[in-house]
Amino acid sequence: MKLFLYTVVLNFGIYFQSVCAQSMAEDFKPSSLNQPEKMFPQVNSQRRVRASISAPNANKVQLDLGGVKYDMKKDSNGVWTGESNPQDEGFHYYQLNIDGASVPDPGSLYFYGAGRWGSGIEIPSADQDFFALKNVPHGLVSENIYFSKLTNSFRRCFVYTPDGYNENIKARYPVLYLQHGSFEDETGWSSQGKVNLILDNLIASKKAIPMIIVMDNGYAYKSENNEIKERSKQRESIFEDVLIQEVVPMIDAKFRTIAKRESRAIAGLSMGANQTMRIMMNHLDTFSYYGGFSGTANYPNSDVIDVATFLDGKYKDGNTLNKQIKLFWLGLGTKEPAPFPKSIGAFRNMLEQQGIKYVYYESPETAHEWLTWRRCLNQFASQLFK
């Protein structure tokens, strides 16, 4: 009987693998994020990823995508090839694992995320039209280097200026300060996030008014002379001070902004949502619009929020805060990991109990990833400064 069951299970396993292999659609096409002239990685209509690399002396090669490693097979020429399971739509970081060493795929463009420069792949989404490159007027993303006295170091921010900024020199613009997430940097929104294309398309379709967007690095620490000591301890972030005391005045001096709170917004994703929430509440004399994408001031805590701490003793009730904040906006993916829906849910309950008005959006079938945040920005930016 045991032999019979073993034979049945074995045959079923062989049959299942055969069906899976036969059902894989062989309509793979090079990813839109490949290096010039590179054929791999590729994506098919089932949203599977196929990677390939020449490594004739390697003993084991894997495709590491979304935290799952897929074994790749070597052919007679020493070229390893393998496929993933179907992936969610949108942008994903990935890497190759060669004999235990994780390395970027030389076939893809590189992006800074997960605390490293590595490979990225785009799984085409049904709604990608809102961040597609179109024949519409385009703005400019510029790199702005500045010296920070607070950190005693050179820093940089990227600034999006809309089409017409350089031609219409009398026009002034509202400003959105937009922050990245943990283990990412100031390149994220203009690279992975497609911020310039999203705003170009919104402005061209008259769904958003022309605005300036500033993207700085959320990691900022007080300078100390003893570097060894600095590395050995947990450093305290001073990003709030850098933004308020250095970046905002610099942007107002260097660009044609409308330098008042009614024309400033602040938003961020994940860690950036947490940072910008606290900055907003501490500086309502500077900002009047807030956007939190996949994060709130209480993340990752899902316990009851101390209202007095959130209101910081400055506001008696929600109605007072409603007069100060023109738009309080929260967004989340429907497939986010458990801590995010719980913490944001607890935060929303607090807002409702205090009578604080807010707008809530859910990105369908996306997790803690860039398609969620692209959609959030698309929704949020269309409601600003109106």
* CA geometry: angle 260, 180, 97, nearest 5 deg: 170
Chain position carrying tokens 């379709």:
205
Which pair of tokens denotes residue 319?
């109605």
* CA geometry: angle 352, 355, 360, nearest 5 deg: 50
Q: Higher pLDDT residue, 351 or 383?
A: 383
pLDDT bin (cut points 50, 70, 90) of residue 225 is: low
Between CA 41 and CA 109 the distance in angstroms is 10
Q: Average the pLDDT over 186-206 and give the result.
A: 98
Q: Are 240 and 204 in contact (CB under 8 A)?
A: no
pLDDT bin (cut points 50, 70, 90) of residue 233 is: low
Q: Average the pLDDT over 104-121 and give the result.
A: 96
Q: How many CB atoms lie within 10 A of CB 15?
A: 10
The yes-or-no verdict on residue 102 having pLDDT over 60 is yes
The yes-or-no verdict on residue 228 having pLDDT over 60 is no
Per CATH, domain 129-225+233-381 is 3.30.70.330: no
Q: Higher pLDDT residue, 17 or 293?
A: 293
The yes-or-no verdict on residue 231 having pLDDT over 90 is no
Between CA 345 and CA 280 the distance in angstroms is 20
Range of weakest confidence among 165-174, 310-319, 333-342, 348-357: 310-319
Which pair of tokens denotes residue 268?
């961020």
Range of weakest confidence among 80-89, 120-129, 310-319, 329-338: 310-319
Q: Full-prediction pTM beyond 0.75?
A: yes
Homologous superfamily, domain 26-124: Immunoglobulins (2.60.40.10)
Between CA 146 and CA 77 the distance in angstroms is 50
Distant-in-sequence, close-in-space partners of 294: CB < 8 Å, separation ≥ 6: 181, 269, 270, 273, 331, 332, 333, 336, 340, 344, 368, 372, 373, 376
Q: So what's the pLDDT on residue 58?
A: 98
Q: Dihedral sign, CA of 12, 14, 17, 20?
A: negative
Q: So what's the pLDDT on residue 119?
A: 97
DSSP states of 74-87: E-TTSEEEEEPPP-
| Per-residue pLDDT tens over the stretch 58-89 | 999 999 998 899 999 999 999 999 999 999 99
Q: So what's the pLDDT on residue 300?
A: 57
Q: Higher pLDDT residue, 104 or 236?
A: 104
Domain borders along the chain are: 26-124, 129-225+233-381
pLDDT bin (cut points 50, 70, 90) of residue 18 is: very low
| Per-residue pLDDT tens over the stretch 279-325 | 999 999 999 999 999 997 665 565 656 666 676 656 656 788 899 99
Query: For residue 15, what is the DSSP state?
Result: H
Q: So what's the pLDDT on residue 16?
A: 40
Which pair of tokens denotes residue 53?
């690399």
Between CA 372 and CA 77 the distance in angstroms is 40
* H-type alpha helices, the chain: 2-23, 188-191, 195-204, 227-231, 239-241, 248-254, 271-282, 307-311, 318-324, 339-353, 370-381
b/e per residue, 120-144, with b = 16+ CB within 10 A? bbbbebeebebbeeeeeebbebeeb
Range of weakest confidence among 29-38, 265-274, 307-316: 307-316
Q: So what's the pLDDT on residue 12?
A: 43
What percent of the chain has a predicted confidence (pLDDT) above 90?
Answer: 79
Ramachandran region, residue 385 (left: φ > 0; alpha: ψ -120 to 50; beta: rest): left
